[in-house]
């Protein structure tokens, strides 16, 4: 059943992922004063992987998580591992130029490679499966897919891609709802909670000191930085803030540039092999192109994990199944009687321009946030960029620092309603 992510603060939400997690490691609560080289705030993909990247480079790292590792979006998302960072670099041409655009585009490929390599290196049991397909709801989408395919070929993309017309869509998805698709074998899907908790275990094995139930109450940026919790404090030369949708109270600048938005998933009972093979014959993750998109995949035990209805209003549905089931049945009418075993949701972080915000507030204060629903891979890239900068290995982070990010208007109380109105406008355009 669904637990409100805004009020359920102690344990992992009751989701399919929590019920099937492999990693049950518990980390202590921070007590007393700790001195370290680097303090990372946030126990999701961004924070955990920054800590891991830094530990691999020999740094002394403390990681603070306010609840449990993977409690936020990293442990609740749809599990889709899709190439790319942000929603297109063309809009930033005047800020980063052709070279900057290409650099970010290639990082979008690299980001998936980081996940694959990490899973292999640390033998993380997270059901990593390659294979993904974008789904066209109308012919206009299919034309865009053809352009994407040509661009990927031009970029020398290392994985198989293929445009499918309507006649071949049943090779990928057992539905008549789509007029085409774009297969990408360099993207795929994963059990996200097992991934992030497996990465945390790897970080701990390299000496990272992880503290859970360590909600940050105050941050004093300086030389050094001092991070306070209710039961202790951490003094660190360098600070990394990875709060994303839960950044409120950590820094007013970052808080104003990211908006929490609700995203929701249901998981059916296990399907029979016959049903599973009909629904997704190649076991790919898929996503359609609507503004209020549907995305879905099969779990390792043949459940259909079906997500969507990104909610910008700040209010969660009272019954997630009641909202999402009609979407599922519209796509798969023959699953109308299938039982839903789990329903859950959580907050993702969204920026106004849909490009991740990665950079420095000060020379010794780093941040990464606002992945706009594509955080499984983009977080891993952000972590690598921050670690490369801290270790003076590269300054690839600078291309992201050149991208401007506006502060959402209206203050804390009006940000969500204003964005909800904007998204309603785009949804109306979609159906007119």
Q: How many other C-beta atoms can be found within 10 angstroms of the C-beta atom of residue 170?
A: 14
CA dist., res. 348 & res. 44, Å (int): 11
Q: How far apart are CA 335 and CA 157, in angstroms?
A: 36
DSSP state of 85: S
Q: At 388, which CATH number? A: 3.50.50.60
CA count, 13 A, side-chain hemisphere, 50? 33
Is residue 298 included in any domain, yes or no?
no
- As a whole number of angstroms, the distance between CA 189 and CA 112 comes to 11
Residue 403 is assigned to a structural domain of this protein: yes
What gap in Å lies between CA 339 and CA 316, rounded to an integer?
22
The predicted pLDDT at position 291 comes to 75
What's the pLDDT score for residue 390?
98
Residue the block writes with tokens 């480079």: 57
Q: Where are the beta strands (DSSP E) in 61-179?
A: 61-64, 80-81, 129-136, 161-165
Q: How far is CA 67 from CA 42, 46, 89, 200, 412, in A?
A: 9, 15, 35, 14, 23
CA dihedral angle for residue 260, residue 397, residue 36, residue 361, rounded to 10 degrees: -60
Count CB-CB contacts under 10 A for residue 202.
Answer: 21
- Domain-located, residue 186: no
Whether residue 335 is contained in a domain is answered as: no
Evaluate whether residue 239 is within a structural domain.
Answer: yes
Query: 52 lies in a domain?
Result: yes
Residues in CB range of 217: below 8 A, 6 or more apart? 228, 229, 230, 249
**Predicted pLDDT at 418:** 55
Domain carrying residue 204: 16-77+193-258+353-410
Is 50 inside any structural domain? yes
Q: What is the pLDDT of residue 10?
A: 58
Tell me the C-alpha to C-alpha distance, in Å, between residue 8 and each of 2, 207, 317: 10, 30, 15
- Provide the β-strand partners of residue 365: 239, 362
**Beta-sheet strands, E only, within 209-293:** 209-211, 216-220, 225-229, 232-241, 259-268, 285-287
Q: Domain tally for the chain?
A: 1
Is 219 domain-assigned? yes
Helix or strand run (H / E) with residue 144: helix 139-154
pLDDT profile of the chain (432 residues), mean per 10: 39 94 94 98 98 98 98 96 91 96 97 98 98 97 97 98 98 98 98 98 98 98 98 98 95 94 95 98 96 92 91 76 96 98 93 95 98 92 98 98 90 55 41 43
Q: Can you give the pLDDT at residue 2?
A: 30
């Amino acid at each position: 059943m669904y637990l409100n992510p805004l009020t359920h603060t102690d344990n992992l939400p009751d989701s399919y992922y929590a019920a099937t997690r492999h990693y049950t490691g518990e980390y202590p609560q921070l007590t007393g004063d700790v001195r370290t080289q680097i303090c990372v705030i946030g126990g999701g993909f961004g924070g955990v992987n920054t800590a891991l990247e830094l530990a691999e480079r020999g740094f002394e790292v403390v990681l603070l998580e306010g609840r449990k590792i993977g409690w936020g979006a990293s442990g609740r998302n749809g599990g889709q591992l899709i190439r790319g960072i942000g929603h297109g670099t063309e809009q930033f041409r005047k800020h980063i130029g052709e070279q900057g655009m290409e650099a970010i585009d290639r990082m979008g490929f690299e980001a998936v490679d980081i996940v694959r390599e990490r899973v292999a290196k640390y033998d993380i049991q997270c059901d990593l499966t390659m294979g993904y397909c974008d789904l066209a709801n109308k012919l206009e989408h299919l034309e865009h897919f053809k352009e994407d395919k040509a661009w990927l070929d031009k970029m020398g993309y290392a994985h198989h891609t293929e445009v499918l017309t309507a006649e071949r869509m049943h090779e990928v998805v057992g539905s008549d709802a789509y007029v085409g698709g774009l297969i990408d074998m360099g993207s795929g899907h994963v059990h996200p909670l097992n991934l992030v908790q497996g990465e945390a275990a790897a970080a701990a094995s390299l000496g990272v000191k992880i503290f859970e139930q360590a909600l940050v109450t105050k941050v004093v940026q300086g030389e050094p930085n001092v991070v306070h919790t209710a039961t202790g404090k951490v003094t660190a030369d360098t600070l990394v803030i990875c709060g994303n949708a839960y950044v409120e109270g950590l820094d007013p600048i970052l808080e104003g540039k990211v908006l929490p938005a609700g995203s929701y998933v249901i998981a059916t009972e296990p399907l029979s092999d016959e049903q599973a093979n009909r629904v997704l014959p190649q076991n790919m993750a898929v996503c359609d192109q609507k503004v209020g998109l549907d995305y879905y995949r099969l779990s390792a035990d043949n459940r259909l994990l079906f997500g969507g209805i990104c909610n910008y209003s700040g209010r969660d549905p009272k019954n997630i199944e009641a909202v999402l089931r009609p979407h599922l049945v519209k796509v798969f009418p023959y699953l109308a009687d299938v039982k839903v075993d789990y329903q859950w949701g959580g907050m993702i972080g969204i920026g106004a321009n849909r490009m991740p915000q990665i950079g420095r507030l000060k020379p010794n204060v780093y941040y990464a946030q606002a992945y706009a629903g594509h955080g499984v891979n983009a977080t891993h890239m952000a972590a690598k960029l921050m670690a490369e900068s801290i270790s003076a290995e590269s300054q690839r982070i600078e291309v992201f620092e050149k991208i401007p990010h506006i502060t959402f208007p209206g203050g804390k109380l009006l940000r969500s309603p204003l964005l909800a109105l904007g998204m309603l406008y785009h949804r109306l355009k979609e159906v007119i």
